[in-house]
Amino acid sequence: MSPVLKAIVRRGLQLHLPVNRLTKPVFAVLYRLHVLVRETWLWTQRVMWAEPLFRSQCERVGTRFEMEQLPYMVGRGCIRIGSGVRLSGKPSIAFSSKHGGAVLEIGDQTFIGHNCSIAVAKAVSIGRDCLIAGGVRIADFDGHPLDAEERRKGLPTPIEAVHPVSIGDDVWIGQGALVLKGVRIGNRSVIGARAVVTRDVPDDCVVAGNPARVVKSISYPLRNAS
């Protein structure tokens, strides 16, 4: 391409409508109209389509439930959701279809962030008033057998390698953390961003790292005084 043609193309890519004292009020009104149309469309899609479809897959959904997009769901299992639960963005829920009887429970007032992934073969329980940040992954099984020959045969994770996950009340899990099978997270504990939780976490502590370790204890003078 000749230099002249490159310059013409470059100038063409830089073209824009002028935003000045005369046109700025017009574009400001158009922007507000754009936001109104977008939000109305998203609200209609959620209320008339995504939320009814998701509720049809749940055994129980409490009052004041809020969601934004239809979660990506694989397999069939039992979903029980408490009151005031909020699902942000588009989380994913995967049930192992090989074992049956998988149960996911989410307690009252808990927030599940965008792009969270929950994989359940037996049971994952999330307590009340929890904050689960975006990109968190929680799983009660490995996803595939550890034995290479079994993987080649397409066999599922053996049932003896499936261990439920239990997350207590008022737990805060930071962005991108990974909670592995068999873990119990105590009440009011905080899981640092990107932490890999491979063992139980006591109540009232902060853990971080890979594997996650206790880095701080949380004290509550008012509670201790009482």
Q: What is the mean pLDDT of residues 3-16?
A: 73
34 and 79, same structural domain?
A: no
Domain membership flag for residue 223: no
For range 142-168, the mean pLDDT: 89
Query: Does 8 map to a domain?
Result: no
Cβ(169)–Cβ(187) below 8 Å: yes
Measured distance CA(30)–CA(120) in Å, rounded: 46
Domain that holds residue 170: 60-217
Tell me how crowded residue 2 is: count the other CB atoms within 10 A of its CB.
Answer: 7
Claim to verify: residue 94 and residue 123 sit in the same structural domain: yes
Percent of the chain with pLDDT over 90: 71
Nearest to 75 by CA among 91, 93, 58: 93
Q: pLDDT of 66-116, one tens digit each? A: 999 999 999 999 999 999 999 999 999 999 877 778 999 999 999 999 999
Residues 42, 128 share a domain = no
Mark out the alpha helices in the chain (DSSP H runs): 3-13, 24-45, 51-55, 148-152, 221-225
Tokens 């469309």 correspond to 41
> pLDDT-derived band of residue 180, with 50, 70 and 90 as boundaries?
very high
pLDDT in tens, 28-67: 999 999 999 999 998 999 999 999 999 999 999 999 999 9
Q: Is residue 1 part of a domain?
A: no
pLDDT 10s digits, 14-37: 777 787 888 899 989 999 999 999
Please tell me which residue in 16, 34, 114, 144 is annotated as part of the active site: 144
Domain co-membership, 100 together with 209? yes
Catalytic residue check, 34: no
